[in-house]
Amino acid sequence: MQFLRRSLTGLILMSLTLGILAYAGYILNASVQARLARTPDAGVREEREFAVKVVLAQPQAIAPTLIAYGEVRSRRTLELRAKASGTIVELAEAFDEGRQVEAGQLLVRIDPADTQSARDRASSDLMDARAEARDAARGLDLARDELTAARDQADLQERALQRQRDLGERGVATTAAAETAELAAAAARGAVLTRRQAVASAEARVDQAATGTVRAEIALAEAERRLADTSITAEFAGALADVAVDQGALVSNGERLASLIDRSALEVAFRVSTSQFARLLDQNAQLRRAPVTAVLEASGTRLIAPGSITRASAAVGEGQTGRLVFARLESAQGLKPGDFVTVEVAEPVLENVVRLPATALGADGAVLALDADTRLEPLAVTLIRRQGDDVLIRAAEGSPPLAGRQIVTQRSPLLGAGIKVRPIGAGAAAPEPAAMLELSEERRARLIAYVEGSRDMPDAMRTRLLDQLAQARVPARVVERLENRMGG
């Protein structure tokens, strides 16, 4: 009996369980069918809008700025080197690192004792050479006078010989007298020849004296130059750098003493790419004298020096690329040779370009613009320049113009063609006032009944919609959205 009772109890419990499960399935199926029958358009929802920042595209004429980096240099830099060896006996008071000196100012004097002695000896040698030249000239005058006297004597002997010959023809003179006269004439001619040789020797002595005088003058000039080399002066006004000696130091010939830098003749050398260099050329392929600005920023200090391009390097250095360009600086207050500066070069003006943030340009070379329905439309553009965080663009060939269009300034993976957006920012158009409707009592009651009977609507939204429907005028957008959900 106990076994039979337990078996019947188990069967009853199993039957109840199966009945409850069947009833639960029935209720679930009925609920689903009722839900589907009540809201046939339950899948229709309001389209999602994305808030985007936009800017109004305004084509304009813009002068791009080429940014490069360069080093400040001095166009005139002179290394001061010792031209003579010896001990430094005098230094200018301004011969210190960074001191300013004037043109022609004495900077260093090396002990001139030896060179002064050499100069004095050369001067004495020149005096001797000039005295020898004067003596040779006097000797030449005397030799010429003796030659003249010898020629006169020879003429007298020739006339005496002729008289003896005439007397001999008349039979008055003897043969011995004629021979004596002939010997005297021959001796006179020999004396003339001797005097001519003496004149030639005197002329040669004069030439040698002149040569000796020239040599002595050259030696004196060289000695004076060596003496002048013991004094080092400033070739131009500038500042001293790399001072390496002090008074009393022993220096050798050619030793480097300091450097003289002209701070008023500064220039900046900067390297640009080949394409950037091509933009600096004019129609004749000549380098334009484009204005530049050298900027040095350090610890919140901004030093600015204007200038202009003067030349470019004649060749590309080994292992280098691009072009090295030089620009002369004007009024470079605070800049010094060796400073690393930012160089801003003004390029020619570009017409009909639009400046946009760089984030507005996508990797596909297009920007996103808003159409009449505030949906996104991609527009192909041509990138003209990059200017820091901005880009200069034009509409690509065959693409709609950009003028007056609202352009999205920040692209994101969520944005694409056809996406409905809500523009914000300075370029957003002013919102139009919402259209309002006056509802009939039947239409208002039907909408209120739908809102109150909607189970999947949040309470806050239901309350807001009921408040709007209770007003005399209801936004047309709200009415249209509710009627779309109701399916009629």
pLDDT in tens, 266-299: 999 999 998 889 888 888 889 999 999 999 987 7
Residue 328 placed within a domain: no
Residue 291 placed within a domain: no
What is the distance between the alpha carbons of residues 395 and 212, in angstroms, rounded to a whole number?
88
- Look at phi and psi of residue 104 and say left if phi exceeds 0, alpha if psi is from -120 to 50, else beta: left
CATH number of the domain residue 92 falls in: 2.40.50.100
Are residues 382 and 417 both part of a single domain? yes
Q: Which domain holds residue 417?
A: 51-63+350-424
Are residues 407 and 388 both part of a single domain? yes
Residue 278 placed within a domain: no
Are residues 120 and 177 both part of a single domain? yes
256 beta partners: 81
Residue 114 has pLDDT above 50, yes or no: yes
pLDDT at 433: 54
Calculate the alpha carbon distances from 406 to 53, 56, 381, 419 in Å: 9, 5, 14, 14
Final residue of a structural domain among 228, 252, 282: 228
Are residues 222 and 254 both part of a single domain? no
What is the distance between the alpha carbons of residues 77 and 256, in angstroms, rounded to a whole number?
14
| Residues present in the chain in total | 488
Are residues 417 and 474 both part of a single domain? no
- 353 CB neighbour count, 10 Å cutoff: 20
- Amino acid code (one letter) for 213: T
For residues 239-259, give the mean pLDDT: 86
* Cβ–Cβ under 8 Å, residues 65 and 344: yes
Residue 356 placed within a domain: yes
Compute CA 314 distance to the chain's CA centroid, rounded to the nearest angstrom.
Answer: 15
CATH number of the domain residue 407 falls in: 2.40.420.20
Final residue of a structural domain among 424, 443, 477: 424
What letter does residue 59 receive in the DSSP assignment? -
For residue 140, report the phi and psi dihedrals to the nearest 5 degrees. -65, -40
Residue 211 placed within a domain: yes
Are residues 177 and 122 both part of a single domain? yes
What is the distance between the alpha carbons of residues 379 and 407, in angstroms, rounded to a whole number?
10
pLDDT at 324: 93
Are residues 202 and 142 both part of a single domain? yes
Report the domain count for the chain.
4
3-state SS assignment for residue 322:
coil
User: What element of type H or E holds 80?
Assistant: strand 77-81
Are residues 162 and 224 both part of a single domain? yes
The CA-based angle 374-466-451, given to 5 degrees, is 85
- 42 CB neighbour count, 10 Å cutoff: 13
Long-range contacts of 192-198 (CB under 8 A, 24+ apart): 192/147, 192/150, 192/151, 192/153, 192/154, 194/150, 195/143, 195/146, 195/147, 195/149, 195/150, 195/151, 196/147, 198/143, 198/146, 198/147
Residue 328 has pLDDT above 90, yes or no: yes
Q: Report which of residues 45 and 227 the model is more confident about.
A: 227
Residue 231 has pLDDT above 80, yes or no: yes
* pTM tops 0.85: no
Indicate the average pLDDT of the chain.
83
pLDDT in tens, 368-392: 998 877 888 888 999 988 888 899 9
Are residues 248 and 386 both part of a single domain? no
Residue 345 has pLDDT above 80, yes or no: yes
Are residues 206 and 355 both part of a single domain? no
Are residues 218 and 355 both part of a single domain? no
What is the distance between the alpha carbons of residues 403 and 410, in angstroms, rounded to a whole number?
19
pLDDT at 40: 46
Residue 271 placed within a domain: no
**Residue appearing with tokens 């959900």:** 485
Work out whether strand 366-370 and strand 376-387 pair parallel, antiparallel, or are unpaired: antiparallel
Are residues 179 and 97 both part of a single domain? no
